[in-house]
Structure 1
Amino acid sequence: MLFERLINTTLALLLLVSFVSCSDDEPATQLITVKLTDAPADYEEVNVDIREIYVNLGDEGDDSGWYELSGVNQGIYDLIELSNGIDTTLVTERIPAGDISQVRLVLGNENSVQIDGIEYALSTPSGQQSGVKINLNETFDEGIPYIIVLDFDAARSVVEAGSSGKYNLKPVIRATAEAAGGAIAGNIQPVEANSIVYAIMGEDTVTSTPSSESGDYLLPYLPAGNYTVGIEPNDAFESARIPDISVTEGNLTEVDTVFLTPTE
């Protein structure tokens, strides 16, 4: 149920996309959204100070593969408010397509826990100052939107330091990923038609430009559903439509090559 709700929320945002261009020179990318949620814990508040998020595009332990996500919604998040299926979005960004082995969550110093109305500072071990590394090991395909959920276990992450009323934060986090839509790919000939191709579902449209060399096109980040693909070439060719194309979660739907008819 959690992932169904997460996916529906993200798809509502993706439906606002009205133009996506493709270029022969642009590298393959993927759209990811990172969300934060928590398992229930017997505390009044567990506040964590989110500062930075990185993904490792290399292998585990390969420090050269870390990629910093920009536009993170920095702030202090009460994990107790994010339990029982509630989540919040930390960042949405388009990054290079491929494998993600790990996620690294960097916390600030304003972490605290509230017990019986008293707030205690949470100390973070020095070894985690550079960030908490969470294994993921998922492959992300070009043109498919994904949601990465960081499931914080507050009950196991807050550790009392002896009997002195001091507490440490030793984050226990599980990362999972789920596709939140699909994509359509195909080819239009001849390339001299300089076509514009678009996918339509209801009143929502995503547009792309085929490669000027091969005629290949990609219509990415599409919510699941049935689409009509429309092709608008220059005046020397007739327009074309391909109805009833099904897009499913996490899949690339390939359609047959379209050969445009010259105008008379």
Structure 2
Amino acid sequence: MKFQPLLSLAVLAGLALTGCSKDNDSAQNSAKLEVRLTDAPGDFSRVNLDVQKIEVHLRDESDPAGWEVLPFTPQAINVLEYVNGRSALLVSTDFAPGDLKEIRLILGPNNTVTTTNGEVYTLKTPSGQTSGVKLKLDKVTLRQGESFQLLLDFDVAKSIVERGNWKPGNDKKERYLLKPVVRLLAQEVAGSIYGQITPAAALPQVLAIRSSLTPADTFSTAADATGAFRFLALPSGTYRVEFYPTATAPANQPAYRAVTQTGVIVVNNQATNLGQVKLN
């Protein structure tokens, strides 16, 4: 495997690198791609990765022009915060439908490991590994109006290697090598939320906010003329759904009011029915 101060690791939370609002039109005309990172625990107190760039490859492996950079804010990530089912959202973006061939994550030079006794060491990158660890994707196709999640599962215990000839007093930069061991999980994201708003004349905007993610990921839509609304291609999680009327009630009727429903559970490949939602 190759590497460069760069490494493909395991997939947005405590760190939210990107949050996106979607409407029905964009959801129908594009796919949504989400990249998340999770970690298998290791015997350290902290592992900071200087994440600079995330790319996906859209063409045959032999075509160097096939890489596309995903929208991502460079920053340091302590991967040990994302264990036991937690994950960090790295990318959440609309994406052109089509096939993905590979993914890679590029690191800067400021990668460190902190031992259980509080000592901080630079993670040394083996020489010659300049093109990055590339994780191949097997038959991953992003389809119009659907969402796809790539989970990069980084194994700290196997990825950080202590050099056998290092002794206290030697250069700290020479103690640990970074040799990433990463498992890639890919799945379609196909949860949904739907319901019926009364009165339909309230013409509400509807927000589905994934509150189980930090910071929250927000999706938006609007009810149609009959009061029906539906969110498609939602990632699994716990949501807060908010309804905001955009019209004013007639003078002889109760005022329209904003309504919030909490604890809405979305499961992949299942539709969650909120039933009738009254805004007066």
| Moved >4 Å (runs of 4+) | 248-251
> Match of 1:180?
189
Is the contact between residue 32 and residue 92 of structure 2 (CA under 8 Å) also seen in structure 1? Answer: yes
Is the contact between residue 27 and residue 146 of structure 2 (CA under 8 Å) also seen in structure 1? Answer: no
Amino acid at match of 1:102: E
> Match of 1:124?
125
User: Following TM superposition, by how much is the alpha carbon of 1:79 offset from its aligned partner in structure 2, in angstroms?
Assistant: 1.6
1:152 paired to 2:159: no
Is the contact between residue 111 and residue 121 of structure 1 (CA under 8 Å) also seen in structure 2? Answer: yes
> Match of 2:35?
34
The gaps in structure 2 that reach 5 residues or longer are 1-11, 168-174, 198-205, 207-219, 223-229, 236-266, 271-280
Is the contact between residue 194 and residue 231 of structure 2 (CA under 8 Å) also seen in structure 1? Answer: no
CA distance in 1, matches of 2:111, 2:126: 12
CA distance in 2, matches of 1:163, 1:61: 39
> Match of 1:143?
145
1:20 paired to 2:21: no
Aligned CA distance change for structure 1 residues 181 and 201 (closer, same or farther; 3 Å): farther
Is the contact between residue 49 and residue 79 of structure 2 (CA under 8 Å) also seen in structure 1? Answer: yes
Is the contact between residue 48 and residue 111 of structure 1 (CA under 8 Å) also seen in structure 2? Answer: yes
User: Following TM superposition, by how much is the alpha carbon of 1:220 offset from its aligned partner in structure 2, in angstroms?
Assistant: 8.2
Calculate percent identity across the aligned residue pairs.
35
Query: 1:92 aligns to what SS in structure 2?
Result: strand
> Match of 2:263?
none
User: Following TM superposition, by how much is the alpha carbon of 1:160 offset from its aligned partner in structure 2, in angstroms?
Assistant: 1.4
Query: 1:163 aligns to what SS in structure 2?
Result: coil
TM-score under structure 2 length normalisation? 0.58
1:164 paired to 2:166: yes
1:73 paired to 2:67: no
Q: Deviations over 1:141-164 (max 9, x none)?
A: 121011111111111110112321
User: Following TM superposition, by how much is the alpha carbon of 1:249 offset from its aligned partner in structure 2, in angstroms?
Assistant: 4.8
Aligned CA distance change for structure 1 residues 85 and 135 (closer, same or farther; 3 Å): same
User: Following TM superposition, by how much is the alpha carbon of 1:21 offset from its aligned partner in structure 2, in angstroms?
Assistant: 5.2
CA distance in 2, matches of 1:95, 1:119: 39
Amino acid at match of 1:63: P
Query: 1:102 aligns to what SS in structure 2?
Result: strand
CA distance in 2, matches of 1:30, 1:128: 33
User: Following TM superposition, by how much is the alpha carbon of 1:170 offset from its aligned partner in structure 2, in angstroms?
Assistant: 1.1
1:90 paired to 2:99: no
Amino acid at match of 1:17: K
Amino acid at match of 1:128: Q
Is the contact between residue 27 and residue 144 of structure 2 (CA under 8 Å) also seen in structure 1? Answer: no
Aligned CA distance change for structure 1 residues 21 and 44 (closer, same or farther; 3 Å): closer
> Match of 2:195?
201
Query: 1:85 aligns to what SS in structure 2?
Result: coil
1:102 paired to 2:96: no
Aligned CA distance change for structure 1 residues 201 and 168 (closer, same or farther; 3 Å): same
CA distance in 1, matches of 2:137, 2:22: 28
Query: 1:58 aligns to what SS in structure 2?
Result: coil
User: Following TM superposition, by how much is the alpha carbon of 1:53 offset from its aligned partner in structure 2, in angstroms?
Assistant: 0.3
1:51 paired to 2:52: yes
> Match of 1:245?
none
TM-score under structure 1 length normalisation? 0.61
Amino acid at match of 1:112: T
> Match of 1:211?
none
Structure of greater relative contact order (alpha carbons < 8 Å, 6+ residues apart): 2
Query: 1:127 aligns to what SS in structure 2?
Result: coil
Is the contact between residue 136 and residue 176 of structure 1 (CA under 8 Å) also seen in structure 2? Answer: no
Aligned CA distance change for structure 1 residues 114 and 64 (closer, same or farther; 3 Å): same
Is the contact between residue 182 and residue 221 of structure 1 (CA under 8 Å) also seen in structure 2? Answer: yes
Query: 1:104 aligns to what SS in structure 2?
Result: strand
CA distance in 2, matches of 1:63, 1:29: 25
Q: CA RMSD in A?
A: 3.3
